[in-house]
């Protein structure tokens, strides 16, 4: 891999694409040349990177000649069409969509957990679902020490996970309520302001949503743990940024709060914020725009045997998307 690679960001004008640019600059990724790609409607827009304005060009089948690394954040249909084309052109794709996560030939990577899997790529690497990534930042260190059997979890997912229009919808509805005006809806099936929606993604025949099953399916692949089981309820909440997850995790080996807290304190990319007596615990308010996830409310589960409860929060646009993608690209430079 070229140590000063030509990098492309696909979907550069979207929320995650913009975050990718910020993360590349902030982490001083050694970009030799940068190409910004998007749909025809965004062509001509200018974005700033490292003090320079770069013009957005249209994504086409001929866009990847000379590109070393392409960070994709333009949706599953775009990834399915263009990622194989990019890979065939000699580019390594880091894809943020769900298109390739369950493909056996595509590594699904959280660098703090399974960075070694990067070397097994065949031109495409996948970023996990944002809620899965944030949860595993706390769960995997405990699994490595105690062997997780199963979890029961509930997510509290920010509207920015749906996109910029969802943020606008929440803002608009809050203003409408304050002004006594009728509530208008465009993104969600129900009002999101001052409400919670127990649905993220579409329902499957078994009653779980696709989003809820990603925790188990992706967790198994990332942790190399085919017996891992997860029962999850995903909830959309009226928060602008950062997802949170309440987890009850049952383990094979004896576990204690003290041992768990010590292990989590040493985990990369994770901060322990756990002092209930002083009302200190993770919150989206404080994890937004922060690279590290936070874990707290660590306690023994009073309903399951040999189990812990904990609460983890993280910025889904960063560790759940842009940051994780750039970290994967950093691992590529080590090959």
Which residues are annotated as catalytic?
A: 130, 243
**Residue with structure tokens 């922060």?**
290
User: Do 110 and 324 touch, CB atoms closer than 8 A?
Assistant: yes
User: Do 276 and 255 touch, CB atoms closer than 8 A?
Assistant: no
Rounded to a whole number of angstroms, the CA Rg of the chain reads 20
Residues 6+ apart with CB under 8 A from 99: 76, 79, 80, 83, 126
CA distances from 314 to 263, 296, 334 (A): 19, 12, 26
Beta-bridge partners for 300: 308
| 32-46 exposure pattern, b = at least 16 Cβ within 10 A, e = fewer | eebbbbbeeebeeee
Q: What are 262's two structure tokens?
A: 């010590």
Q: What are 2's two structure tokens?
A: 């070229």
**Residue count (the chain):** 335
Share of the chain residues as helix, strand and coil, in percent rounded to the nearest 5? 35, 25, 40
* Backbone φ, ψ for residue 49 (5° rounding): -140, 125
CA distance linking residue 72 with residue 95, whole number of Å: 5
């Amino acid at each position: 891999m070229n140590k000063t690679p030509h990098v492309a960001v696909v979907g550069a004008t979207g929320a995650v694409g913009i975050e990718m640019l910020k993360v590349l600059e902030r982490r001083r990724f050694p970009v030799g040349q940068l190409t910004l790609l998007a749909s025809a409607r965004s062509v001509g827009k200018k974005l700033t990177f490292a003090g320079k304005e770069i013009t957005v060009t249209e994504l086409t089948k001929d866009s990847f000649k000379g590109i070393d690394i392409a960070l994709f954040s333009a949706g599953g249909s775009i990834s399915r069409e263009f990622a194989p084309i990019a890979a065939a052109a000699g580019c390594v794709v880091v894809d943020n969509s769900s298109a390739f996560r369950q493909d056996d030939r595509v590594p699904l990577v959280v660098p703090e957990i399974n960075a070694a899997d990067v070397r097994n790529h065949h031109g495409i690497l996948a970023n996990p679902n944002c809620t899965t990534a944030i949860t595993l930042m706390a769960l995997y260190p405990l699994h490595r020490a105690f062997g997780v059997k199963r979890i029961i979890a509930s997510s509290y997912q920010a509207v920015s996970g749906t996109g910029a229009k969802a943020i606008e919808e929440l803002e608009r509805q809050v203003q409408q309520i304050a002004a006594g005006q009728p509530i208008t809806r465009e993104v969600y099936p129900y009002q999101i302001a001052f409400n919670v929606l127990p649905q993220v993604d579409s329902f499957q025949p078994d009653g779980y949503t696709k989003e809820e099953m990603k925790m188990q399916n992706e967790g198994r692949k990332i942790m190399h743990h085919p017996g891992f089981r997860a029962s999850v309820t995903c909830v959309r909440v009226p928060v602008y940024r950062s997802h949170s997850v309440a987890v009850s995790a049952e383990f094979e080996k004896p576990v204690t709060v003290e041992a768990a807290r010590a292990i989590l304190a040493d985990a990369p990319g994770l901060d322990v914020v756990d002092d209930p007596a002083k009302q200190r615990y993770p919150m989206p308010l404080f994890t937004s725009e922060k690279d590290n996830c936070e874990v707290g409310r660590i306690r023994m589960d009073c309903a399951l045997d040999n189990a812990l409860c904990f609460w983890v929060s993280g910025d889904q646009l960063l560790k759940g998307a842009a940051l994780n993608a750039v970290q994967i690209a950093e691992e590529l430079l080590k090959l």
